[in-house]
Chain A
Amino acid sequence: MLDVFFFGGIGLYFLGMVLRFFGQVWKKDGLTKASWMIFMAGFAAHTVYLVMRGIQAGRVPMANQFEFAVMFSWGISVILVFLHYRLGLEWITTVAMIMAWAIYLYAALLPREIHELMPALRSVWFVSHIGSAAFAYASFMLAGASGIRYILIHKKDKEDERLPEIDYFIYRLIAIGLLLLTVTIVIGAIWAEEAWSSFWTWDPKEVWALITWILYAICLHLRLSRKMTGVKMAWFAVIAVPVVLFTFIGVNTIIPGLHSYGVVLSRLM
């Protein structure tokens, strides 16, 4: 039953994405609207999957690479839905759908068995540390998605009136992502002090979280002093996405460290 919702979510995201693409190419509003409805159905399946898995596991499902990927993808969808309904932002949808689907698909390549939470992860900080990380990464991914959109529009027309809005949202998404990443690192440090006796161990995951934090902090600093706006900011948002993905996937799978329990042997390896 769980798998029905899991693969149903992936399938609906994919279908929504394809319809959206053709809706945009053929300029058919009906297709574009239908694609959103299908995406929302996928989002509902995704949400039900997470809730059911959580009930079955008896905990919030964020204990390993698979569960984090599902949560990460869900975070992208949640922010996308918020931007769509609350702020009426349409331009971000296509690329954001692709990102949500791609991360969800990555999760499908990982083992899905439910394991008991290991003692090291049984902490009051578990949900807030990992949850804030998922939403921080999701914000950065959406900033990257907006960056791609900005660059594409900018190539066609440098004076397009949508550009200032997209530029502003790249900045806001990065700012929210940085704030959440700071919360992630701070909570992680407090947790590490309780678990390992030291709030910082220079573990590869910590180091890459710090690298990501510094990169985005530099970006925002330059932005606030007006030295990086427009297309430069958009390029930064896009180029920084691989760093975020490396912090999420690369560090856990390539470099062994204290956070390696996040990985249950991947079928990719």
Chain B
Amino acid sequence: MKKINTFLRSMTFGVILLGLIILFSVAGSVIPQNNEVMYYVRSYPSYYQVILTLGLNRIFTSWYFVVTVILLCINLTLCSIVRFRRINEEDLVETALQGKETVELDPESLDKVRLELVRMRCHTRQTGDRTVYYKNGFGRYGTFITHLGILFTVVFFALGMSLPKITDQTCMPKESLVLEDGTEIYVDTFSITDSTGRLDYKSVVNIILPNEKESGLTEVSVNHPASAGQYKVYQQTYGTIGRITVRDKKNHQDTFNIESQDFLSSDGKTGILIDNLYPGFTETEEGMQLITSTSGRYENPVYVFVVINETGQEAMLAFPGDSIDVGDYTYYFEDPVEYPGLRIKKSPAYINLFLLIAVLVLVFGLAVTFLWIPVVVLVTPAGYRICSQKAEGLELRLKSVLKKEKE
């Protein structure tokens, strides 16, 4: 049992686990993740069975990846406990006072060393003619805090990745989305450019929670989600949709959004069959040639449709502002409407807060480890001794002071 415990908390085990995580990560970055099975069959005809059998297509949620991370957490926990105990048991200054100098120096050189240590703003503790210069005592906790930071980061990262529920939805301006728990997201407006004409996808939404608390009209744009309660709403994508208003002879009218092929008819026989709304077109010598824009912007939109009536069918084009009479109805082709694709995330707010604290602990731990290096130096009338561990910088500094003196 003791052997297992020693192995589980050992650095060797930790390094093996980190090596495995690197291996899995390389595989996960080379093999595209979370695609349909057919994607792997088509892309890797010779290896797809290996990929699917070993779960290399979902490597970051595979059992072996999760087990590796759990073992790493155990390794970090045990290692942190041992480190904390060891640090607390040590009193480096007191131990140093009992020690013996290792670098023998003449009094003049020793004065240089003392001066350098004072220049470094070290504190002193003296017993008789033995002085210990020390500072950055807190630096001893650096590696412990770093380990703790990594552990907390991994744990809250796992929670942060598994707890949120994310859905992508589209919503037309002036309409609402109603979520499972009754939360309503009302989209007031959507625009893809700002007042200067610069691309800036922006929705104005109101999030109304089931308890009737609401966010008020709030702007949602890329990098600026809106939040209310456990919900966060992100500006994710956008789309463009055609609109046709149909009016009868008595001036009753209705407006339809054209999402796919639609047949607008009152009797199922006479009407218009909408093929599509295209973002632009070019006119060639032979006639008009339709194109689909790749920029995603509808700069010169055109409707393609088929008029169907008793006399037959006729393919036609119409531009926003045009209208056509078919049967008892007039069809008005409106300007296309842009609408947002929103990402809705529901997650407990405390997860992000805890994760933020964990990563701050990690950064702080690294900063303490590498920038706040403990200094403990015993100086006796015969020489000095560096008692703190990991004090190579100090060693070089004192050597350089003594070297300069010789020169």
Query: What is A's interface to B at a CB cutoff of 8 Å?
Result: 116, 118-120, 122-123, 164-165, 167-168, 171-172, 175-176, 178-179, 182-183, 186, 189-191, 193-200, 202, 204, 207-208, 210-211, 214-215, 217-218, 221-222, 224-225, 227, 251, 255
Supply 12 further A-B pairs (C-beta < 8 A) apart from A120-B223, A197-B225, A202-B28: A116-B199, A119-B223, A172-B370, A179-B363, A196-B234, A207-B28, A207-B29, A208-B29, A211-B22, A217-B18, A221-B14, A222-B11
Contact assessment for A119 and B22 in the assembled complex, using a CB-CB cutoff below 8 Å: no
How near does chain A come to B388, taking the closest CB pair, in angstroms?
A: 13
How near does chain A come to B226, taking the closest CB pair, in angstroms?
A: 11
Known contacts being A118-B199, A186-B359, A221-B11, is A171 close to B392, with CB within 8 Å? yes
Report the separation of the CA atoms of residues A197 and B232 in the bound assembly, to the nearest whole angstrom: 8
Chain B residues near A199 (CB-CB < 8 A) = 157, 160, 352, 355
How near does chain A come to B309, taking the closest CB pair, in angstroms?
A: 46
Report the separation of the CA atoms of residues A171 and B390 in the bound assembly, to the nearest whole angstrom: 11
A-facing residues in B15-60 (Cβ within 8 Å): 15, 18-19, 21-22, 25-26, 28-30, 33, 60
Identity of the chain B residue whose Cβ is nearest the Cβ of A181 in the assembled complex:
B366
Report the separation of the CA atoms of residues A191 and B345 in the bound assembly, to the nearest whole angstrom: 15
How near does chain B come to A170, taking the closest CB pair, in angstroms?
A: 11
How near does chain B come to A99, taking the closest CB pair, in angstroms?
A: 22
The winner among A123, A164, A171, A221 for most chain B CB atoms within 10 A is: A221
Identity of the chain B residue whose Cβ is nearest the Cβ of A225 in the assembled complex:
B11
A-facing residues in B173-197 (Cβ within 8 Å): none
How near does chain B come to A114, taking the closest CB pair, in angstroms?
A: 14
Chain B residues near A120 (CB-CB < 8 A) = 222-223
Q: B296 an interface residue at 8 Å Cβ cutoff? A: no
Known contacts being A168-B396, A198-B166, A218-B15, is A251 close to B222, with CB within 8 Å? no
Chain A residues near B22 (CB-CB < 8 A) = 211, 214-215
Q: B224 an interface residue at 8 Å Cβ cutoff? A: yes
Contact assessment for B390 and A182 in the assembled complex, using a CB-CB cutoff below 8 Å: no
Report the separation of the CA atoms of residues A165 and B355 in the bound assembly, to the nearest whole angstrom: 38
Jot down 20 A-B pairs with beta carbons below 8 A, ordered by A: A119-B200, A119-B223, A120-B222, A120-B223, A122-B200, A122-B223, A168-B392, A172-B393, A179-B367, A182-B363, A182-B366, A186-B362, A194-B223, A197-B164, A198-B164, A199-B157, A208-B25, A210-B25, A211-B29, A221-B15
Which of B160, B356, B362 interacts with A182 by CB under 8 Å?
A: B362
Contact assessment for B25 and A207 in the assembled complex, using a CB-CB cutoff below 8 Å: yes
Chain B residues near A164 (CB-CB < 8 A) = 392, 396
Report the separation of the CA atoms of residues A199 and B236 in the bound assembly, to the nearest whole angstrom: 15
Chain B residues near A167 (CB-CB < 8 A) = 392
Identity of the chain B residue whose Cβ is nearest the Cβ of A206 in the assembled complex:
B29
Q: B161 an interface residue at 8 Å Cβ cutoff? A: yes
Q: B201 an interface residue at 8 Å Cβ cutoff? A: yes
Report the separation of the CA atoms of residues A204 and B369 in the bound assembly, to the nearest whole angstrom: 29
Report the separation of the CA atoms of residues A211 and B201 in the bound assembly, to the nearest whole angstrom: 34
How near does chain B come to A138, taking the closest CB pair, in angstroms?
A: 17
Which of B11, B25, B166, B363 interacts with A197 by CB under 8 Å?
A: B166
Q: B3 an interface residue at 8 Å Cβ cutoff? A: no
Q: B143 an interface residue at 8 Å Cβ cutoff? A: yes
- Shortest 9 CB-CB distances between A and B: which pairs? A175-B370, A119-B222, A207-B29, A204-B29, A123-B223, A186-B359, A197-B345, A207-B25, A168-B392
Query: What is B's interface to A at a CB cutoff of 8 Å?
Result: 11, 14-15, 18-19, 21-22, 25-26, 28-30, 33, 60, 143, 157, 160-161, 164, 166, 198-201, 221-225, 232, 234, 236, 343, 345, 352, 355-356, 359, 362-363, 366-367, 369-371, 390, 392-393, 396
How near does chain A come to B294, taking the closest CB pair, in angstroms?
A: 15
* Residues of A contacting B: mostly: helix
Chain B residues near A208 (CB-CB < 8 A) = 25, 29
Chain B residues near A221 (CB-CB < 8 A) = 11, 14-15
Chain A residues near B371 (CB-CB < 8 A) = 179
Contact assessment for A194 and B18 in the assembled complex, using a CB-CB cutoff below 8 Å: no
Report the separation of the CA atoms of residues A47 and B166 in the bound assembly, to the nearest whole angstrom: 44
Contact assessment for B396 and A200 in the assembled complex, using a CB-CB cutoff below 8 Å: no
Identity of the chain A residue whose Cβ is nearest the Cβ of B393 in the assembled complex:
A168
Report the separation of the CA atoms of residues A179 and B22 in the bound assembly, to the nearest whole angstrom: 19
How near does chain A come to B12, taking the closest CB pair, in angstroms?
A: 10
The winner among B29, B60, B343, B370 for most chain A CB atoms within 10 A is: B29
Known contacts being A168-B396, A186-B359, A198-B161, is A176 close to B370, with CB within 8 Å? yes
Which of B29, B200, B222 interacts with A255 by CB under 8 Å?
A: B29
Chain B residues near A215 (CB-CB < 8 A) = 22
Known contacts being A120-B223, A171-B392, A197-B232, is A179 close to B366, with CB within 8 Å? yes
Contact assessment for B359 and A119 in the assembled complex, using a CB-CB cutoff below 8 Å: no
Identity of the chain B residue whose Cβ is nearest the Cβ of A254 in the assembled complex:
B30
How near does chain B come to A206, taking the closest CB pair, in angstroms?
A: 9
Report the separation of the CA atoms of residues A132 and B7 in the bound assembly, to the nearest whole angstrom: 36
How near does chain A come to B138, taking the closest CB pair, in angstroms?
A: 17
Report the separation of the CA atoms of residues A189 and B352 in the bound assembly, to the nearest whole angstrom: 11
Which of A119, A176, A191, A196 interacts with B199 by CB under 8 Å?
A: A119
Report the separation of the CA atoms of residues A202 and B25 in the bound assembly, to the nearest whole angstrom: 9
Chain A residues near B18 (CB-CB < 8 A) = 214, 217-218
How near does chain A come to B173, taking the closest CB pair, in angstroms?
A: 19
Report the separation of the CA atoms of residues A267 and B33 in the bound assembly, to the nearest whole angstrom: 29
Identity of the chain B residue whose Cβ is nearest the Cβ of A203 in the assembled complex:
B29
Chain B residues near A200 (CB-CB < 8 A) = 157, 161
Contact assessment for A119 and B25 in the assembled complex, using a CB-CB cutoff below 8 Å: no
Contact assessment for B363 and A183 in the assembled complex, using a CB-CB cutoff below 8 Å: yes
